Amino acid sequence: MEPIPEKVDGGVIVRDSDGKPIGEVSSGRSQDGPSDRFLGVFLDNARDLIPIPLPTEEALLKRWDPVVKDAHAYGLTAVHDALLQPNMIDFFHK
């Protein structure tokens, strides 16, 4: 993992009183597989410092089914996702 820069143009890294980024490096597994990531508060362009793999179609399907069931249970007819990636758009078109 690359060192965390002091400043990011157009972004903010929230730090503690000693200037250290709030958070920690985490190694483990997510529903999408193994992951190493920095957990903390990264805002705007600083989010680009954290590599987040795109979810697989299988992972999207696992997430989609319960969301649709919950939405229908409450009478919702539309769902919006503010963070769409191209592979997610392709998924929704299917």
Residue 38 and residue 67 in one domain: no
11 pLDDT exceeds 80? Answer: yes
* Cβ contact 91:60 at 8 Å: yes
The whole-model pTM stands at 0.47
What 3-state DSSP class applies to 22? coil
What 3-state DSSP class applies to 11? strand
Average pLDDT over residues 18-27: 70
Is 29 part of any domain?
A: yes
Residue 16 and residue 42 in one domain: yes
| Range with the poorest average pLDDT among 9-23, 35-49, 51-65, 70-84 | 35-49
88 pLDDT exceeds 90? Answer: no
What 3-state DSSP class applies to 68? helix
Domain that holds residue 88: 57-93
Average pLDDT, the chain: 77
Residue 41 and residue 68 in one domain: no
Q: How confident is the model at residue 18 (pLDDT cuts 50, 70, 90)?
A: confident
Is 89 part of any domain?
A: yes
Which tokens hold the place of 22? 């709030």
Q: Residue 46: in which H helix or E strand, if any?
A: none
36 pLDDT exceeds 70? Answer: no
Residue 39 and residue 18 in one domain: yes
Q: Residue 35: in which H helix or E strand, if any?
A: strand 33-40
Classify residue 49 by its DSSP letter.
Answer: G
Domain count, the chain: 2
Average pLDDT over residues 34-43: 61
